[in-house]
Amino acid sequence: VLLLPDLVLGPDGEARSGLGVEIDGGFIVAVRAAQAGEEDTALPGRMLVPGCVNAHSHAFQRALRGRVERREGAGEDDFWSWREAMYEAAGALDPDSIGEVSEACFREARAAGYTTIGEFHYVHHQPDGTPYDDPNALALSVVEAARRAGVRLVLLLAAYARAGAGEPPTARQRRFCDPTVERYLARVESLHAAVAGDPLITVGYAPHSVRALPRPWLEAIAAHAAGTGLPVHIHASEQPREVVECLVEHDCQPIELLDACGLLGPATTVVHATHASTRELDLLADRKAAVCACPTTEGNLGDGFLPAAGLWARAVPVCVGADSNVRLDPFEEAREMETCARRRELRRNVLVPEGDDGPSPSLWRSLTRRGAQALHLETGSIAPGMAADLVALDLAHPQLAGVAAADVPAAVLFAGSAALVRETWVAGHVATGT
């Protein structure tokens, strides 16, 4: 089938007209002009863009929306007090309810323009830590939820072992934890086998953080992952307290520790990197690791600012995640990265790689191809050979009224919202709305 919109977002973030996108068997096979008399699917008043990638999601946290926006008790409200509310929600999950909340989250995400989800999944066992009959029962419920919602999913299976340096897990953390790293790695292998053959579902490693894992676990996961080619995602440098604790335990900062453990390489995505030092930013660039920014969640939790200018200056690939799913709108994530960088740098058009004339092309890459690369997927670009994961945006929407065609890609990012999304395609299968 040949999809024929008014505009197609090109690989350099430019709006191209007069082109159709030919899809077959779930893939894009050509980007070309329609031939005379050829049957096509006209998409008038639409711009076709690659499906956006939510590279870091905790789907069940969608259930906290609105519930955590008031102070509880007398103390200060911060990331750590929010975490207690999140643990309470995690504690209540069972295989059915995690499937329900995940499906609702994935449906909302797809309707907002995210066709791929990197689900960083860490609720594994029964509340007291006893495994279910199938130790991957909850992960497989999330996989089923993705299938029902029709999204592409990378299930990033998290490893968790402790509350902090030398501290056993708290009661609420027990269901996140495996007794040994070998048991965790066996679960990665069995999940990988369980989803093999489904082109929409893949698996990755997710050592949770340097706070939740001792050094031998980080090293064992690095060694195991190296042979597989699967992606590795890890939270690092989200909160100042985490950096201080890492300095006390290891005499180095979190991203330096990842490097010392063999975990920092081209297959690795560091989630947040909010408090990364200059030396750590250099390390990320040297090791060709990626960063996943989660701007709306980092704002909601009071984490701090992404060191965006430093990452762009070093050409570290940056993708985005909706993380706690407090907000599902890819364009807002991109806009936050640039506008927060403007506030910090006191100038405009900050995140501009050499050769580009503005931030829009690079921000589009962050939403699409960079996320796909962080998840080791061949999607996120409208080009032959890529998966047919696409989003049609409404050019007639008031948010884009009067905008010249050449300015539409930037206008979507700086003035648009998920309300622009009309149809979405995942592996060539179309859906409208939720």
How many chain residues bind Zn ion (CB under 5 A)?
1
Q: How far is CA 159 from CA 190, 206, 240, 272, in A?
A: 15, 6, 22, 18
DSSP 397: S
Helix (H) or strand (E) holding 306: none
197 token code pair: 């053959």
Between 21 and 158, name the residue whose CB sits nearer to Zn ion.
Answer: 158
Q: CB 54 → Zn ion: shortest distance, Å?
A: 12
| CB of 17 closer than 8 Å to CB of 35 | no
Furthest C-alpha separation in the chain: 71
Q: CB 42 → Zn ion: shortest distance, Å?
A: 41
Our answer to whether residue 272 is catalytic in this structure is: yes
Our answer to whether residue 323 is catalytic in this structure is: yes
Q: Which of 178, 259, 323, 389 is catalytic?
A: 323
Between 141 and 325, name the residue whose CB sits nearer to Zn ion.
Answer: 325
Between 103 and 323, name the residue whose CB sits nearer to Zn ion.
Answer: 323
Query: Contacts with Zn ion in 101-130 (CB under 5 A)?
Result: none
Q: CB 57 → Zn ion: shortest distance, Å?
A: 8
**Sequence-ordered alpha helix ranges (H) in 92-227:** 95-111, 137-149, 181-195, 215-226
Query: Contacts with Zn ion in 352-411 (CB under 5 A)?
Result: none
| Rounded-to-integer distance, Cα 114 and Cα 151, Å | 8
Strands 114-121 and 318-320: unpaired
Q: CB 61 → Zn ion: shortest distance, Å?
A: 9
What is the radius of gyration, based on Cα positions, of the chain? Answer: 21
CB under 5 A: which stretch of 190-198, 321-329, 373-381, 417-425 binds Zn ion? 321-329
| Rounded-to-integer distance, Cα 23 and Cα 16, Å | 18
374 token code pair: 């962080």
Q: How far is CA 186 from CA 81, 158, 159, 178, in A?
A: 33, 12, 11, 10
| Rounded-to-integer distance, Cα 11 and Cα 382, Å | 7
CB under 5 A: which stretch of 19-27, 75-83, 129-137, 316-324 binds Zn ion? 316-324
Between 6 and 323, name the residue whose CB sits nearer to Zn ion.
Answer: 323
Q: Which of 58, 272, 303, 329 is catalytic?
A: 272
407 token code pair: 């300015």
Strands 390-394 and 41-50: antiparallel
Between 323 and 329, name the residue whose CB sits nearer to Zn ion.
Answer: 323
Strands 318-320 and 290-293: parallel
Q: CB 280 → Zn ion: shortest distance, Å?
A: 18
Burial class (CB in 10 A: 0-12, 13-18, 19+), 218: buried
Amino acid identity for residue 232 in this structure: V
Amino acid identity for residue 30 in this structure: A
Between 323 and 389, name the residue whose CB sits nearer to Zn ion.
Answer: 323
Query: Contacts with Zn ion in 323-342 (CB under 5 A)?
Result: 323
Between 256 and 323, name the residue whose CB sits nearer to Zn ion.
Answer: 323
DSSP 236: E
Quick one: how far is CA 348 from the chain centroid? Answer: 26
Amino acid identity for residue 144 in this structure: E
Question: Integer distance in angstroms from the first to the last C-alpha of the chain?
Answer: 23
Q: CB 119 → Zn ion: shortest distance, Å?
A: 10
Q: CB 179 → Zn ion: shortest distance, Å?
A: 23
Between 27 and 87, name the residue whose CB sits nearer to Zn ion.
Answer: 87
| CB of 145 closer than 8 Å to CB of 106 | yes
**Nearest-CB residue for Zn ion:** 323
CB under 5 A: which stretch of 169-177, 273-281, 319-327, 353-361 binds Zn ion? 319-327
CB neighbourhood size of 253 (10 A): 23
Q: CB 155 → Zn ion: shortest distance, Å?
A: 14
Applying CB under 5 A, which residues contact Zn ion? 323
Which sequence positions are flagged as catalytic? Answer: 272, 323
